Amino acid sequence: MSCRKRCKREIFKFAQYLYRLVTGTLNTDSVEDELELSTVRHRPEGLEQLEAQTRFSRKELQILYRGFKNECPSGVVNEDTFKDIYAQFFPQGDASTYAHFLFNAFDTDHNGSVSFEDFVMGLSILLRGSIQEKLNWAFNLYDINKDGYITKEEMLDIMKAIYDMMGKCTYPALREETPRQHVEIFFQKMDKNKDGVVTIDEFIDCCQNDENIMRSMHLFENVL
């Protein structure tokens, strides 16, 4: 059925082409001569609202927004821009997979773009949140399909993404099974009831009992 329609359309186009050939076209404007509509523009909520919703002060929000707006004048970051930005920090490796997972973690409403509110909410949790909130966020990052369980496959994807960022020239040289071994170690530690998945409670419990993790949670707090 569609074949016939296609044939008709082709014949029609050919006839149009012949007609134009004969009569000449004085206007060379073709159909694709529209300026592409400006991209999505987004304006954030007011300063007062953001101040109330996050744990940043007014000045800090101003600083954050100026930087954000400088990079993304349209007010939203899409995934490609996010990947570009992140790739600048890891020139030796390929940061795009990990940036993809990070993007999904920041994009809380899953609309394909990170607005300033999403950005600032995420930062608020990461920089000023309680340990519980930070661990929650990390769990959310690992749980790719957001079903509340971290499976070995999800962890393997995350692990591979992290190892990708190291690039090729490492010491000792990266092997195929390095990420997998790392995943095994992780699961041995975290998966208490050995059911093959890590739930949020297991994760938080285990991290809270681990002194090193607890200590390192404060590592990036004084960022602004």
Partner 1 sequence: MAAGVATWLPFARAAAVGWLPLAKKTMPKPPIDNSSKSDEILYVNVSGVRFQTWKNTLDRYPETLLGSSEKEFFYNEDTQEFFFDRDPEMFRHILNFYRTGKLHYPRNECIQAFDEELAFYGIVPEIIGDCCMEEYRDRKKENQERLAEDTEANEGVDAPLPPNSTSRERLWRAFENPHTSTMALVFYYVTGFFIAVSVIANVVETVPCRPPLGSVKDLPCGEKYKVPFFCMDTACVLIFTFEYLMRLFAAPSRCNFMRSVMSVIDVVAIMPYYIGLVMPENEDVSGAFVTLRVFRVFRIFKFSRHSAGLRILGYTLKSCASELGFLLFSLTMAIIIFATVMFYAEKGTKGSTFTSIPASFWYTIVTMTTLGYGDMVPNTIAGKIFGSICSLSGVLVIALPVPVIVSNFSRIYHQNQRADKMRAQQKVRMARIRMAKRGTANAFLQYKEDRNIGDPDGCVKNRSAFDQQHNHLLHCLEKTTNHEFTNEMNYSELCMTESVGFKTSRSTSLSSHQGAQNNSSGCCPRRARRRAAMRLANSTVSVSRGSVQELDTLHLKTTCIPPQTRSSLNAQMCDMKLNCGDPDFTAAIISIPTPPANSPDESLPPSPAPMLGILRNTRATAYIQDSVKISSL
Cα 32 to chain centroid distance, Å, stands at 32
223 part of the interface to partner 1, by CB under 8 A: yes
108 part of the interface to partner 1, by CB under 8 A: no
Chain residues 139-168 in contact with partner 1, contact rule CB under 8 A: 141, 162-163, 165-168
Q: In the set 3, 5, 177, 212, which binds partner 1 (CB under 8 A)? A: 212
Q: In the set 7, 9, 71, 130, which binds partner 1 (CB under 8 A)? A: 71
169 part of the interface to partner 1, by CB under 8 A: yes
* Residue 205 Cβ vs partner 1, minimum distance, rounded to whole Å: 14
For 40, 70, 71, 223, the CA distances from 64, given in Å and listed in that order, are 20, 10, 11, 11
Taking each helix axis from N to C end, the angle separating 96-106 and 79-87, rounded to the nearest 10 degrees, works out to 130
For 132, 146, 197, the CA distances from 204, given in Å and listed in that order, are 7, 16, 14
* Residue 189 Cβ vs partner 1, minimum distance, rounded to whole Å: 7
* Distance (Å, whole) CA 220 – CA 223: 6
Q: Which is nearer to partner 1, 11 or 18 (CB)?
A: 18
Q: Are 143 and 202 in contact (CB under 8 A)?
A: no
x/- map, 171-200, partner 1, by CB under 8 A? xxxx---x---x--xx--x-----------
* Residue 1 Cβ vs partner 1, minimum distance, rounded to whole Å: 22
* Distance (Å, whole) CA 145 – CA 149: 9
25 part of the interface to partner 1, by CB under 8 A: yes
